[in-house]
């Protein structure tokens, strides 16, 4: 790059050298010619061309404003900057008005470099613009004569988008024949198209190649015209794009016709493609068209279904019906009634559909156009309602049976406790313990029946995992095919967990049943449990990372395995790969729900043909099962001679419970129904310390009795007892403000402990 040629009007050589050093320190290569007088200044301007003039404002025989005037006359395009020690603000502004590029104070020479660079840049831009204007001026006349003789719309723009020329046809279209050059071409473009067209223009300038474009312009009378254009570029000598020439045509009439056609097609397509039902066209047994919803129903993109036989998507058993229906619709003048059809998705899954449609003409040949509605969910809901009704009926039946069984089992448990210490031999006591354990197991089975039939479950308690697994193993060995071998593994010191025994039992049962179904030809079912410690393990089933001691339960089989594509779906409600009638699709979703509610999570591993393993992680409780086994139950607390009013309509339970209470130092009044109990309480109101009453009794049931006793004595203490344990009874007893609630059959320990707690309470 050539050095910057600077003419410096300065009478102080020191200041001249200082200014030179400032510019050179900034990396500006400069050649200086310093002059001090007006004559030398004028002579220098006449002798050679300079790139920049720097001038002091005050000189002994010359002043800066005079120098500026001379410079503007001799070399009007050269930037002129004042560099002075003192210059007033008004004088500085006046100098700028008369053509100075800038002014810099000598005590602020740090501004000089930026000022010089800006002045040179502005001078260069002015020179470039002048050159372009001159060049265009010479060409304008010839170009105008050519463009004014054609009907095409011609516009010439500079590289910044300013209009340099508009043909007469273009001005007539705008309705403004006097529109001048040097105006913004994009000002008349429709606002919605302006940004896009500006982008096309910038791309044309940047790439130097013409582009096609369509846009709208705003006419002076307020109307809108559609334009179709082709741009081309005019390059300067050095190759850069200097101008853009746009040749365009008014295509408004053609556009209106196209828009009318597109609007009609769009309306139809929108209705069809956004429909919430499947829409299809069948001709000669093949699908000619399906809308997106139809493709979604069958798990396919629309093109995957085109040209395939309609019957390919109908289950084999319904194809005769479907073929006959197509024949009837082709022969009928009006659409027939909708009919149900079972159809098969591309992934093999069967869906229930409701098919509508009628005859039409397509490409001159008869066809069927219709709609298809997926009613699979409706069918599932209907099936759920039927199952719910059956479960409700089973629940009512189970409740009645449970009440009677609990009344049968209750006396057995109490008698076992009363007789145990009276038997002389250990063998007799062991036999009695076996009978009592069987009765207790029967009571637990009744609770499980209520849990599954009516949704009743126990509260969270400390559970020994090994006992729960052993119960499942016993059940599996008694009911599963002999071809399935069952293995178990438990370490010593297995930690207990806190949870609902019935629900954990259901988790294990569901996983074992699934394992059984995965091994139709036999195999090995393994149940394992172990302790583990987690550190910040993240799971989608829990909001926070899990840490600390856990128990992991593993249920493994050697069955068919689960395809990788289905692993993400197996926990979804109603998802099942089993045949109709062999599964509801609720087993694994129930497992996930229970495990999540217990603060745990699941992992599943599977390989086709090699089996599946489910791992259930549950938070561990303090201690170990070995430690829990060592703990001996405390002796039930005895009474202190308190008077208990016992109300029970089952004579066996009434008598045996009376004897049990008396053996624990309680005095007992008995009543066979609520009416009798009210009479007894009224007679001995001041003596009765607590009332123990069944909730289901003839004549006057438990809730009615409790309300009657509250009227006699608002502070009466009541223990409610029931053989049903339903949520409704729990809620009702809560509303009656009873002090405790016991489920039949209860143990001696529970009854005595509950009585002491109620009697001690204020």
* 3-class DSSP state of 231: strand
C-alpha distances out from residue 8 to 40, 49, 53, 447, 749, Å: 11, 13, 6, 109, 115
| Domains of the chain (ranges, CATH numbers) | 4-128 (3.40.50.2300), 148-255 (3.30.450.20), 275-373 (3.30.450.20), 457-630 (3.30.565.10), 643-760 (3.40.50.2300)
**What is the per-residue pLDDT for 749?**
85
* Cα–Cα distance, 525 to 487 (Å, whole number): 6
Check: pTM over 0.75? Answer yes or no: no
**What is the per-residue pLDDT for 292?**
87
Q: Are 719 and 739 in contact (CB under 8 A)?
A: yes
C-alpha distances out from residue 433 to 273, 375, 382, 420, 751, Å: 73, 57, 49, 8, 19
* Cα–Cα distance, 411 to 650 (Å, whole number): 10
Q: DSSP letter at 674?
A: H
Q: Are 148 and 168 in contact (CB under 8 A)?
A: yes
336: which residues sit within 8 A by CB, 6+ positions away? 325, 328, 329, 357, 358
**What is the per-residue pLDDT for 321?**
87
- If you search the block for the tokens 């590289």, which residue do you land on? 159
Dihedral sign for Cα 40, 41, 47, 53, please: positive
658: which residues sit within 8 A by CB, 6+ positions away? 646, 668, 670
**What is the per-residue pLDDT for 407?**
63
Tell me the angle at which helices 426-454 and 501-517 cross, rounded to the nearest 10 degrees. Answer: 80
Q: DSSP letter at 189?
A: B
**What is the per-residue pLDDT for 729?**
52
Q: If the chain, 762 residues long, is cut into consecutive pieces of 10 residues, what is the mean pLDDT of each piece?
A: 87 89 88 90 89 88 87 88 83 85 87 88 84 77 68 84 82 71 83 90 85 87 87 82 86 83 76 80 88 85 82 90 86 76 89 87 85 84 68 57 60 61 64 61 58 54 84 85 91 88 84 90 93 87 85 93 80 62 63 87 89 92 56 73 92 86 92 91 90 88 90 91 61 71 82 91 81
**What is the per-residue pLDDT for 727?**
46
Q: Determine the length of the chain.
A: 762
> 359 has which bridge partners?
368
* Cα–Cα distance, 213 to 230 (Å, whole number): 7
β-strand pairing of 497-499 with 461-463: antiparallel
Q: Within 13 Å and on the Cβ side, how many CA atoms surround 659?
A: 12
Q: Are 211 and 231 in contact (CB under 8 A)?
A: yes
C-alpha distances out from residue 697 to 203, 322, 326, Å: 92, 60, 65
Burial of 667 (0-12, 13-18, 19+ CB in 10 A): middle
**What is the per-residue pLDDT for 671?**
93
């Amino acid at each position: 790059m050539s050095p910057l040629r600077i003419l410096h009007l300065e009478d102080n050589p020191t200041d001249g050298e200082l200014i030179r050093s400032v510019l050179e320190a900034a990396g500006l290569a400069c050649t200086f010619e310093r002059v001090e007088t007006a004559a030398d200044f004028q002579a220098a301007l006449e002798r050679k061309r300079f790139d920049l003039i720097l001038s002091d404002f005050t000189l002994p025989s010359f002043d800066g404003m005079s120098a500026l005037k001379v410079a503007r006359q001799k070399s009007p395009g050269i930037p002129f900057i004042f560099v002075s020690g003192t210059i007033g603000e008004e004088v500085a502004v006046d100098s700028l008005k008369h053509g100075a590029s800038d002014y810099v104070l000598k005590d602020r020479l740090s501004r000089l470099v930026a000022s010089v660079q800006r002045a040179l840049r502005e001078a260069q831009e002015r020179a470039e613009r002048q050159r372009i204007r001159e060049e265009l001026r010479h060409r304008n006349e010839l170009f105008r004569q050519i463009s004014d003789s054609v009907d095409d719309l011609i516009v010439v723009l500079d590289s910044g988008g300013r209009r340099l020329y508009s043909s007469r046809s273009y001005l007539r279209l705008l309705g403004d024949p006097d529109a001048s050059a040097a105006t913004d071409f994009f000002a008349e473009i429709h606002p919605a198209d302006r940004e896009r067209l500006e982008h096309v223009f910038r791309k044309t300038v940047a790439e130097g190649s013409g582009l096609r474009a369509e846009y709208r312009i705003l006419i002076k009378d307020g109307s809108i015209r559609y334009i179709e254009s082709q741009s081309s570029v005019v390059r300067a000598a050095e190759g850069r794009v200097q101008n853009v020439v746009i040749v365009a045509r008014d295509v408004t009439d053609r556009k209106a016709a196209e828009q009318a056609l597109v609007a009609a097609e769009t309306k139809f397509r929108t209705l069809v493609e956004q429909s919430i039902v499947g829409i299809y066209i069948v001709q000669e047994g093949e699908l000619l068209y399906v809308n997106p919803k139809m493709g979604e129903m069958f798990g396919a993109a629309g093109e995957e279904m085109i040209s395939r036989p309609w019957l390919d998507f109908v289950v084999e058993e319904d194809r005769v019906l479907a073929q006959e229906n197509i024949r009837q619709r082709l022969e009928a003048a009006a659409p027939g009634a909708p009919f149900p059809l079972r159809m098969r998705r591309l992934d093999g899954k069967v869906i229930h559909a409701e098919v509508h449609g009628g005859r039409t003409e397509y490409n001159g040949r008869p066809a069927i156009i219709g709609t298809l509605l997926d009613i699979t969910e409706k069918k599932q809901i209907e099936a759920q309602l039927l199952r719910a009704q059956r479960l409700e009926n089973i629940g009512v039946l189970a409740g009645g049976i449970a009440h009677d069984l609990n009344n049968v089992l209750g006396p057995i448990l109490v008698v076992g406790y009363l007789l145990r210490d009276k038997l002389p031999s250990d063998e007799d006591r062991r036999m009695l313990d076996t009978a009592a354990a069987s009765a207790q197991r029967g009571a637990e089975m009744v609770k499980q029946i209520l849990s599954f039939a009516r949704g009743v479950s126990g509260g969270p308690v400390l559970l020994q995992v090994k006992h729960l697994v052993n119960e499942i193993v016993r059940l599996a060995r008694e009911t599963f095919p002999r071809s399935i071998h069952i293995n178990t593994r438990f370490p010593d010191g297995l930690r207990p967990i806190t949870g609902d025994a019935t629900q954990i039992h259901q988790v294990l049962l569901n996983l074992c049943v699934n394992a059984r179904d995965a091994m139709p030809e036999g195999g090995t079912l393994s149940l394992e449990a172990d302790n583990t410690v987690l550190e910040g393990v993240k799971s989608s089933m829990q909001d926070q990372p899990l840490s600390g001691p856990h128990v992991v339960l593993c249920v493994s089989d050697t069955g068919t395995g689960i395809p990788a594509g289905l692993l993400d779906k197996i926990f979804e409600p109603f998802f099942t790969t089993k045949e109709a009638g062999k599964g509801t699709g609720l087993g694994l979703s129930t497992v996930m729900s229970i495990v999540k509610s217990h603060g745990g999570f699941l992992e599943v591993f599977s390989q086709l043909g090699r089996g599946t393993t489910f791992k259930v992680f549950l938070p561990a409780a303090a201690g170990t099962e070995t430690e829990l086994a060592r703990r001996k139950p405390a002796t039930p607390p005895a009474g202190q001679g308190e008077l208990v009013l016992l109300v029970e309509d089952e004579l066996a339970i009434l008598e045996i419970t009376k004897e049990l209470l008396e053996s624990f130092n309680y005095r007992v009044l008995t009543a066979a129904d609520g009416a009798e109990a009210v009479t007894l309480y009224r007679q001995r109101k001041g003596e009765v310390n607590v009332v123990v009453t069944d909730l289901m009794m003839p004549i006057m049931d438990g809730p009615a009795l409790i309300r009657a006793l509250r009227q006699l004595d608002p502070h009466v203490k009541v223990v409610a007892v029931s053989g049903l344990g339903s949520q409704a009874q729990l809620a009702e007893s809560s509303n009656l403000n009873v002090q405790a609630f016991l489920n039949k059959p209860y143990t001696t320990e529970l009854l005595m402990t509950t009585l002491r707690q109620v009697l001690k309470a204020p």
